[in-house]
Amino acid sequence: MRAFTIPTHYRSNLVGRLKAHRKAQDPRKKDIAPTLLDLGAVRFVFARHFGFCYGVENAIEISYKALEENPGKRIFLLSQMIHNPAVNDDLTARGMRFIQDTHGQMLMDWNELTADDIVIIPAFGTTLETEARLKAIGIDPLKHNTTCPFVEKVWNRSAQLGEKQYTVVIHGKAKHEETRATFSHTAAGAPAVIVKDMAEAQELGRIISGESPAERFHTLFGTRCTPGFDTAKDLQRIGVVNQTTMLATETQAIADHFKHVMIVKHGEADLKSHFADTRDTLCYATNDNQDATNELLKADADLALVVGGYNSSNTSHLVELLEQKFPTYFIQDESEILSADTIQHFNYPAHKLESANNWLPAKRPLTIILTSGASCPDTLLDRVMLKVLGYVEGAKDPERAVAELAI
């Protein structure tokens, strides 16, 4: 896999060396056991895979190269390039402006743009409608396009399904940039509907099987399906793709559910005429990070810290996995750690910040799981680790411990 040119301020001194150590030990990534950094009074357990993925590094490289190669030009980000405030804030501090927020709401008027401006498409991609609007202004939407290749893979698979007269069921969050983009690209060639979770998949399954009336489809999915969706015709042949940052296990479970529904309705012998196997649309980085997080669940730890942007879907799913076993705190950076007694953290289901007291146990040695989402710079984990160490007396020097581990 190619190496990207990433600004040095995103490269980590401590965590980066731990990753390099594991990569040297296991270049084929066959071992997904966590990495232990034992500092005596406190032990940090890191997932085998976390942090920047291929698509994120690609987006960062393109964005900073655009700045470097176009001095004096106006450069716009269509929306948040990735869901990490540290990266987005750094880009805007260098003069970039956002055109839309993460929900597609305008932050400026399209009429402000000219053909001489540069517009960067985020890693999530964008809709065909937005591409057409940029072209009408005279801006090539593909010139500075940071769309993740794995998102484009989903679009290509959806197009293939459409060519074979399948309806595409998209497992994703309807307001998320990536799902909006995938829906737009899919709808150009196939009927499509978005389901957010297994409960909605089961509702749709009952409509397909005839257990629920067809009218219920438009009550549940009327704002999340293509115009003119015909339940009598468009639910006869289906394939499932996903927003690449969803829980991979949930996407597969949803696909398996629809497969079962079609077997019951049409018989196993005729399954291929009604259900397309699409498991190859699952993102490798999402799979790797989630598999590595599942390995963390085998650890004997006192708590977990997950670092990432609050609107990061893939990060929220790591929190969802870890909180099954550990007290888990979803934080944006080290500033959320207010003291040894108080931590500010994000309650993802409720979409609000909360404070927790007595979050750092007094027991020693203390074992802390530390990981992050695919859009989080490793430097933030360094800073979180060092902030925690400031509250733990007697811990070893992390610089020396990392150096010894890498010998």
Neighbours of 127 (CB within 10 A): 18
The CATH number of residue 58's host domain is: 3.40.50.11270
Cα 315 to Cα 372: distance, rounded to the nearest angstrom:
7
The CATH number of residue 177's host domain is: 3.40.1010
Tell me, yes or no, whether 60 and 124 share the same domain. Answer: yes
Residue 399 lies in a domain: yes
Tell me, yes or no, whether 216 and 194 share the same domain. Answer: yes
To the nearest 10 degrees (0 to 180), the angle between helices 85-93 and 54-69 is: 10
What's the one-letter identity of residue 225? C
What pLDDT shows up at residue 269? Answer: 95
Cα 351 to Cα 258: distance, rounded to the nearest angstrom:
30
The CATH number of residue 338's host domain is: 3.40.1010.20
Q: Is 240 helix (H, G, I), strand (E, B) or coil?
A: strand
> In which domain, by residue range, is 271 found?
165-282
Cα 306 to Cα 321: distance, rounded to the nearest angstrom:
11
Residues 120, 150 contacting (CB under 8 angstroms): no
Cα 107 to Cα 100: distance, rounded to the nearest angstrom:
5
Tell me, yes or no, whether 179 and 249 share the same domain. Answer: yes
Q: Which two tokens stand for residue 362?
A: 């007094």
Residue 143 lies in a domain: no
**For residue 151, which of 187, 189, 180 has the smallest C-alpha distance?**
180
**Digit-coded pLDDT (tens) for 247-269:** 888 999 999 999 999 999 999 99
Neighbours of 289 (CB within 10 A): 28
Tell me, yes or no, whether 378 and 342 share the same domain. Answer: yes
Mean pLDDT of all residues belonging to the chain: 94
Q: Is 27 helix (H, G, I), strand (E, B) or coil?
A: coil
The DSSP 8-state label assigned to residue 280 in this structure reads G
Confidence of residue 280 (pLDDT cuts 50, 70, 90): low
CA dihedral 103, 108, 112, 117 (to 10 degrees): -50
What pLDDT shows up at residue 369? Answer: 98
**Count of positions (residues) in the chain:** 407
Residue 198 lies in a domain: yes
CA atoms within 13 A on the CB side of 158: 29
Q: Pick from 282, 299, 329: which residue ends a domain?
A: 282
Report which secondary-structure segment, H or E, holds 330.
strand 328-331
**Digit-coded pLDDT (tens) for 108-166:** 999 999 999 999 999 999 999 999 999 999 999 999 999 999 999 999 999 999 999 99
Cα separations (Å) of 29 from 15, 22, 288, 314? 17, 9, 9, 20
Q: Pick from 235, 265, 282: which residue ends a domain?
A: 282
Q: What is the pTM of this model?
A: 0.89
Q: Which two tokens stand for residue 159?
A: 């197009």
What pLDDT shows up at residue 6? Answer: 86
Q: Where is average pLDDT lowest: 191-195, 228-232, 286-290?
A: 286-290
Q: Which two tokens stand for residue 394?
A: 């007697």
**Which is catalytic among the residues 177, 178, 200, 203?**
178
Neighbours of 284 (CB within 10 A): 16
Known catalytic residue: 178?
Answer: yes
Q: Which two tokens stand for residue 66?
A: 């655009």
Cα 113 to Cα 75: distance, rounded to the nearest angstrom:
10
Neighbours of 66 (CB within 10 A): 20
What pLDDT shows up at residue 214? Answer: 95
**Digit-coded pLDDT (tens) for 42-74:** 999 999 999 998 889 999 999 999 999 999 999
What pLDDT shows up at residue 287? Answer: 83
Q: Which two tokens stand for residue 314?
A: 């893939």
Tell me, yes or no, whether 174 and 272 share the same domain. Answer: yes
| Preceding peptide of 191 cis, ω within 30° | no
**For residue 240, which of 256, 264, 216, 218 has the smallest C-alpha distance?**
256
**CA-atom Rg of the chain in angstroms:** 23
Residues 118, 144 contacting (CB under 8 angstroms): yes
- The structure tokens 């010998």 sit at 407
Domain count within the chain: 3
Residue 396 lies in a domain: yes
**For residue 121, which of 178, 74, 159 has the smallest C-alpha distance?**
178
**Is the alpha carbon torsion for 359, 325, 305, 101 positive or negative?**
negative
Q: What is the mean pLDDT of residues 17-33?
A: 91
